[in-house]
Structure 1
């Protein structure tokens, strides 16, 4: 009887632990251009076969960097298919996500070896490829932290006339809702674009998975930097365990804090400079752990942290602030940067020289408000019924990003509703041969509609008369159209 009772208690306890354990985060990895699911070494990660695309052509891929997922295919988007092409992924649980896109090169000699294009996520422009990106490991992908709230995610590629966008993979990886929270201004209307992630004092590039990191961390990529400059610093490393590293909400891998750089007598200030886009806000995350055997107690290493010459943290004492040696300490500050560089300087104040383990820099981007979903559906119905030419594309959001609106569509922003709407359409002289859809009436803000110079046939739907804002309607030179309203 006692044995049965103990066994029952053990089963009950295990059930409580199982029921309270956090479920695995949502993860969707797409191998673009692939016709079947694949798994890749060394972690046996599952990549789903290609789906959700609006167009494009699958092709064999050349990977520009050793950090690129070892996938054999890609999807590229010819300029003949229009300036915007997208992936639309449905059934994404509401939450906070890392969205990462790896670029590729088409494995054919007659294609442009380095296409330049722009990327948007949920209508917000997050990245513009720069010339020479194939030569830099940290430029072969774009990554952002974004809240997805309506069960879908739209990722679009915007041609700039310099080659054809080519995408190897897309990752949608759930992270903690409070990950990288830095204050009230850091809400669901903000996107963090990864500018740089550095692991200091080592020459080994790593993903979180390589560190056996928690999956809720989003499998971040850490670019190695063994030194900030010749004779400027010295590496430090340890095999000791690091406390408070893998805690919520950011779940940093413990091994991130097991290497560092320390300044020297010849260069007491420890400084790192990175190029950035000017006139932007940046969120800076600095990682510390006292792993130097020479420092055994509080007060033995104290330094200030400056950003572009301005002190942002005073008298940093890692042991005192973290509570112990071999204990992680993370500091964050969001700053406005007017110039084209960010310089982080650690200036010793007392005791030993400065030390740092890792650096993260994000560009803070205000998320764009999207176009009314009803009006987007009406435009998509119009696209199908009129048979718009490929060069129109009409993929993604009609009004955002503002740098890439749909051709022929005029947009206005409703400040009270925080939505964009369509107030004008000019599709004149485009060789359209389709017909009017009834859904045209859902463009309730339309003020002008010009479809002249086409061969649109059929009748004008009476629902067009319900658009009370319509002031200009030009259907001239459509010889196949019955000019009477549909009864």
Structure 2
């Protein structure tokens, strides 16, 4: 029996050791935009890779208006001549949950607008609009940070001009976090993105990142902005050198140092109140951090508080010592609330005892993720863009249909409820050259194989599409009308994208008499395997 007991303990030890050893380091990607070489920044010797994965833009000398941003000397800016939408498309990102942080910069050139205002989207969802005056703040306004699930192997970060200066990006961070980090309730998951509005370390002397606290890498290297008071004479700062229990645990891995300082209310102002400006008619996830570090409180029942948000009690009878399991132990409370107005106010009101206390506050905006455009249609338009050699000023970067505020120029998008994806219903591109021509884009889908033929036709052609009998799905059809000014003689572009070996055949529309003015024909599809081909013909 003793031998069996020892064997069981040994087995448990081996399993536990395997679990610890099998935990890999999180994926980390940091890009110094505009840099020609890799860069290390002080004091942590953080590695920033040289610039890559951009769709356009111009590298230039740059700076950040805030000490918060990494001390880098270059940036990439996107003048309107490069198009209204430009992106970074980072590939080979492992599936997972990520903190995506984008630092904004200022071009070091007197003739440039010193404070560009533009929109930012992540994976096709608009997450941030730079506010006027952002460059005058040493807080979260100098970057945008989101938590998002990336499950297609890429991270697409796009910047959309709004007519107020050229977007300028100093640096990008993509940091993997725990899959359940900041699980805020039933809406948590791949259908939502949360954006950091505020992250405060109450009573801290200085603002620091997780790395400065020697925090766990799985925490996402969060930035904690110090706040020494909520208002004049309304509170006082307290601190302790005692270590705090129940910190740096999965899934959020909070650094223990944020619980070693706090703000404590006073006899004159027994309540603690914090107010932040927010966008109306949105949901916000609020995370409140506590540790009982006040030496005058030693047992449960000595401090009990009610906590309300905009006047509604969300956490009644909060007893930190009781709920955390003792003094110097961390307690985290979370709730998600809809806000109709433009302010979010957190109030801590003491019930037992005379003072309220708090260690840290995190506030996130909950954003519903946009449905993307059907992948085959995105590939088709990207091939069309390359085939026609469309100018950079047209844009056509990122997703054609989302964010809905910034679709591709000329894209007529419709939402398909069956696939829960956007599809292209039509295209209109206007280029100032010589002759107006209408193009019909003939699309045939057989399984995963995607065929496209574009020619000059007078009428909308509904032509049968023949698929191999072994095809797993019936043929589907889509016709895109593309109208634009083009040079004369017009181009006829015929191309096929074949994603896998197949015997599927795509007959060219037989109504060849419907072709362009001079009756010249476009070549029909060739049977190609594992090939992407583009052919140009002058009529």
TM-score by length of 1: 0.91
Residue in 2 that maps onto 1:450: 483
Superposed, 1:7-26 pairs within 5 Å as 17=17, 20-21=20-21, 22-26=23-27
Inter-partner Cα distance in structure 2 for 1:403 and 1:475:
37
Which ranges of structure 2 fall in alignment gaps of 5 or more residues?
1-9, 443-450, 455-475, 497-504, 525-539
Inter-partner Cα distance in structure 2 for 1:257 and 1:289:
6
Q: In the alignment, is residue 484 of structure 1 matched against residue 496 of structure 2? A: no
Which ranges of structure 1 fall in alignment gaps of 5 or more residues?
1-9
Inter-partner Cα distance in structure 2 for 1:446 and 1:309:
55
Inter-partner Cα distance in structure 1 for 2:350 and 2:404:
46
Inter-partner Cα distance in structure 1 for 2:252 and 2:174:
17
- Point out the more displaced range, 200-209 or 314-323: 200-209
CA displacement at 1:19 relative to structure 2 = 6.2
Equivalent residues of 1:412, 1:423 under 8 A apart: yes
CA displacement at 1:387 relative to structure 2 = 1.6
Deviations 1:230-255 (A, max 9, x none): 11001110010101111100000000
Inter-partner Cα distance in structure 1 for 2:39 and 2:495:
52
Superposed, 1:216-235 pairs within 5 Å as 216-235=218-237
Distance change in 2, residues 1:249/1:344 (3 Å): same
Residue in 2 that maps onto 1:119: 120
Equivalent residues of 2:270, 2:354 under 8 A apart: no
Equivalent residues of 1:369, 1:419 under 8 A apart: yes
Counterpart of 1:246 in 2: which secondary structure?
coil
Deviations 1:80-104 (A, max 9, x none): 1110000000010000000000000
CA displacement at 1:467 relative to structure 2 = 11
Equivalent residues of 1:386, 1:436 under 8 A apart: no
Counterpart of 1:87 in 2: which secondary structure?
strand
Q: Which has the larger radius of gyration?
A: 2
Residue in 1 that maps onto 2:502: none
Q: In the alignment, is residue 135 of structure 1 matched against residue 168 of structure 2? A: no
CA displacement at 1:63 relative to structure 2 = 1.6
Inter-partner Cα distance in structure 2 for 1:436 and 1:85:
27
Deviations 1:169-228 (A, max 9, x none): 000000000000022221111000000100001230010001110000000001110000
Distance change in 2, residues 1:245/1:274 (3 Å): same
Equivalent residues of 1:236, 1:261 under 8 A apart: yes
Inter-partner Cα distance in structure 2 for 1:118 and 1:28:
22
CA displacement at 1:431 relative to structure 2 = 3.3
Counterpart of 2:387 in 1: which secondary structure?
helix
Distance change in 2, residues 1:175/1:17 (3 Å): same
TM-score by length of 2: 0.82
CA displacement at 1:42 relative to structure 2 = 1.0
Distance change in 2, residues 1:383/1:455 (3 Å): farther
- Among 338, 341, 348, the alignment partner of 1:339 is 341
CA displacement at 1:66 relative to structure 2 = 0.6
Inter-partner Cα distance in structure 1 for 2:191 and 2:262:
34
CA displacement at 1:15 relative to structure 2 = 11
Give the number of aligned pairs. Answer: 470
C-alpha root-mean-square deviation of aligned residues, in Å?
A: 2.8
Inter-partner Cα distance in structure 2 for 1:252 and 1:222:
11
Residue in 2 that maps onto 1:6: none
Counterpart of 2:348 in 1: which secondary structure?
strand
